Amino acid sequence: MNNLVLNTHLSLDDYIKVNLYLLYQRFMVKVTTAIGIFILAWLVYYRDMMHGFPWLQSFLGLYLIVGFPLTTYFSAKRNYRLNSRIREHISYEFNEEYLEMIGDTFRVQLTWSKIYRVSESNSWVLIWQNPHTADIVPKRDFTKGTLAAFKNILTLHPSVKNDMKKRLHS
């Protein structure tokens, strides 16, 4: 099988979006956001029964809704600015034996047995080296043919947890 090569670059906007996407994949973040919405809805519904404005409850509800996204936004913005490797143009080479990433200042070759998981969203392919570290490949850099070829390579490696969507036409 021939090597599959993708050239990618993450913009600041891409990096912020993928961080927010990963944030809302966590169950507790969804629960916390729902609690914040519930608190604000409760305040609106019961506003006539309260004596004075419920400042604490209002701030708590707002924080639960916008606190995590704002923190993630500013953290992602800072990390993008401080970590030059995130901003580099990266060439990914995939084949049956290994995955190779070549940036302006680094070159990494990993056998598929070292890949923890590969997952997919509507906009991203995430190649997880462990449960906490993922390499981000924008889906816009794949063509239908290269995405299908990438999925075929993954099927050859049952040790890799494959969370790619099982669609015929991606």
Same domain, 59 and 121: no
The per-residue pLDDT for 135 is 94
Is residue 80 within 8 Å of residue 136, measured between CB atoms?
Answer: no
Residues 73 and 105 in one domain: no
Supply the CATH number for residue 126's domain: 2.30.29
What residue numbers bound the domain in which 117 lies? 4-9+89-163
Q: What is the pLDDT of residues 128-145, one digit of tens each?
A: 999 999 999 999 999 888
CB 138 within 8 A of CB 124: yes
| Whether residue 76 is found in the same domain as residue 105 | no
Q: Point out the domain boundary residue: 82, 102, 122.
A: 82
pTM for the model stands at 0.83
94 shares its domain with 77: no
Inside any domain, residue 54: yes
**pLDDT digit string, tens, across residues 31-80:** 999 999 999 998 887 776 767 777 788 899 999 999 999 999 999 999 99
Strands 117-120 and 161-163: parallel
